[in-house]
Structure 1
Amino acid sequence: MKLTTIFIFCSVLLFNCEPPKKPEDIHQENWTKREMNRPLKDSLEHGKSYLSIYSQIYSITQHSTHNLTAVASLRNISDRDTIYLTKATYYDTHGNLLKTYFDKPIYLAPLETTEIIIDEINVEGGTGSNFLFEWKIPKNCPEPFFEGVMNSTMGKQGLSFTTQSIRIE
């Protein structure tokens, strides 16, 4: 009787569990739901911002690296105006384009935030990866704020730090 109960319990666990999600499926932003379907006004101010991101950092020596989860936080800090992000591109340490996340205008409502997440196992960016963000905002609107948050946890040890974007255009 006890063996039958154990078998049924194990069968329920085996057959009712969903397969584990792949890291790239955990948080995949649907950029098309944010796309602008009409042309942007000519009166909008244009800008471009640079954000450093680290998918790896050196640990102990130059020959040893530690992988990190990296989050690029894209924030509209205006409490009045919607802003538009027109392009987001991700580059590796050597300046090679790795991915274009979107190249059609998307919107962020007042005080809205969205993220781009680089999984800890994705180390193609290396120790000097970076983003370029192009954007358009109404006159007298605060510029968008882009922040990088990198972290990793191993056992009881944790590591985290942030970076902030700078306007380059």
Structure 2
Amino acid sequence: MRLIATALLFALLALPRHGYSATQEIRLSKGQTVYVPVYSNVFTGPRSLPFQLAATLGVRNTDPNSWIRITSIEYYDTSGKLIRRYQDKDKPLSLAPLATTYVHIEEKDTAGGFGANFIVRWQADRAVNAPIVECVMIGATSGQGISFVSPGQAIREVR
């Protein structure tokens, strides 16, 4: 038991840290394209059975003074095929300072598969604090539950 607890502690310490420390520079941007991994399911047990998960994409405007525009949110499957558009490029969503928007994918929606992802594009009129874009996955079955967060990664910067 002590060995398992020690292994878990080392695993937690090895996880990447998110957020800013006092020595890190605050990142300002006028817009980005952000890739966010989504796990519609994970495989469990010796037979690698799929464990279905609900997923909630969150986009959090971290700037206390400025609005941002979410210009598109697209959901892709494991093979990279576009499944759905949740935000239309022609009708951007304005997000107030410190406000959050989200997209929820139900546990029974398996269209994305294990390698699904969101592509989120956002813009601002001036350089602002970059939003936090992440996906929370959660599932429970037969008394067993699992939850975790998948952080987004900027793959393109608006110039």
Name the TM-score class by shorter chain: 0.7 to 0.9
Match for 1:57: what amino acid?
A: V
Distance 2:46 2:107 in 1: 20
Q: Answer yes or no: is the 8 Å Cα contact 1:137–1:143 preserved in 2.
A: no
1:66 alignment counterpart: 51
Q: 1:94 aligns with which of 76, 79, 89?
A: 79
The structure having more radius of gyration, on CA atoms, is 1
Moved over 3 A (4+): none
Q: 1:62 to 1:94 in 2, by over 3 A?
A: farther
Deviation of the 1:102 alpha carbon? 1.3
In the alignment, which residue of structure 2 is the partner of 1:159? Answer: 146
Aligned residue runs from structure 1 range 77-156, under 5 A: 77-103=62-88, 104-156=91-143
Distance 2:143 2:34 in 1: 36
- Paired with 2:96 and 2:61, the residues of 1 have a C-alpha distance of 7
Inter-partner Cα distance in structure 2 for 1:51 and 1:138: 24
- What runs of 5+ residues in structure 1 fail to find an aligned partner? 1-43
What residue number does 2:34 align with?
49
Could you tell me whether the CA contact under 8 Å between 2:30 and 2:127 is conserved in 1?
no
* Residues 32-55 of structure 1, C-alpha deviations (whole Å, 9 max, x = no match): xxxxxxxxxxxx923200000111
Aligned twin of 1:21: none
TM-score by length of 1: 0.70
Q: 2:44 & 2:149 partners in 1: Cα distance?
A: 17
- Does the 8 Å contact 2:55/2:136 carry over to 1? yes
Deviation larger for 56-65 or 115-124? 56-65
Once residues 79 and 48 of structure 2 are traced to their aligned partners in structure 1, the CA distance between those partners, rounded to angstroms, is: 17
**Are the counterparts in 2 of residues 45 and 136 from structure 1 also a CA contact under 8 Å?**
yes
Cα offsets for 1:61-113 (capped at 9, x unmatched): 57521100101011111111010010110000110100011122111101111
Higher helix share goes to which structure?
Answer: 1
Rounded to whole Å, the distance in 2 between the matches of 1:121 and 1:79 is 36
TM-score, length-scaled by structure 2 = 0.74
Aligned mates of 2:125, 2:132 — CA distance in 1: 15
Decide whether aligned partners of structure 1 residues 142 and 154 sit closer, same or farther in structure 2, where only a CA change above 3 A counts.
same
Identity of aligned residues (%): 33
CA distance in 2 between counterparts of 1:59 and 1:155 reads: 13
Indicate how the Cα distance of structure 1 residues 78 and 62 shifts in structure 2: closer, same or farther if over 3 A, else same.
farther
Alignment check: 8 A CA contact 2:77 2:117 kept: yes
**How large is the RMSD of aligned CA atoms in angstroms?**
1.6
Unaligned runs of 5+ in 2: 1-28
Distance 1:154 1:46 in 2: 39
